[in-house]
Amino acid sequence: MRKPSGEAGRKPGHKPGRKFGGVAVVLVALFALAACGADAGDGKGGAGSEGAAAGAPVTAAKWTVSALLDQGRAAPLPEGTAGRAYLTFDTEGKVQGRAGCNVFHGSARVSPSARTVAFGPLGTTRMMCTDPEMRLEREVLGVLRGTVHYRVDHGTLTLTAASGAKGLSATAG
């Protein structure tokens, strides 16, 4: 018996229109895991962490960028970008977050004695967003390069480029 047109070569149990079902499930699972990984860490701190607020380590907070620094002076974030950029450090020497538009991840060694964070190369997604979000992203990623100085004071993390010219402030929470 001849199969109706369009059914030749299909495997038994094949359901039309479900070609990408398995791929979609895998993608949803990966995004869910990535979202869980962006949480505030385990709160244990460990070597290389500094208090975020009342003895809490840097790794115990999600740091939301609240200001950009230019020559040590705070400048407001581009309009409409409040809360769009954040970063988290884990106890394994990794950093991840959102730079304004795209998410990023990479290595970050925190040295409390030198009060520095040594950032390795960061991987990012490559979406295009609004101009203010892209400006914020360029500024944030510009700070998260090489070794930067850090300070934590009353729940605010300040990262300053080695040159002292650029930096950012981020609040815990």
DSSP string across 20-42: THHHHHHHHHHHHHHHHHTS---
Q: What is the pLDDT of residue 30?
A: 35
Range of the domain at 54: 41-172
pLDDT of the chain, 173 residues: tens digit per residue: 555 555 555 555 545 554 444 433 333 333 333 333 333 333 333 333 343 333 446 777 999 999 999 999 999 999 999 999 999 999 899 999 999 999 999 999 999 889 999 999 999 999 999 999 999 999 999 999 999 999 999 999 999 998 899 999 999 98
Give the residue from 62, 150, 58 showing the smallest Cα distance to 113. 150
Q: What is the pLDDT of residue 113?
A: 87
Q: Which two tokens stand for residue 106?
A: 């990479």
Amino acid at 8: A
The CATH number of whichever domain residue 165 belongs to comes to 2.40.128.270
For residue 139, tell me if it sits in a domain: yes
Give the residue from 95, 105, 146, 145 showing the smallest Cα distance to 125. 105
For residue 167, tell me if it sits in a domain: yes
For residue 151, tell me if it sits in a domain: yes
pTM, two decimals, is 0.68
Please give the tally of structural domains in the chain.
1
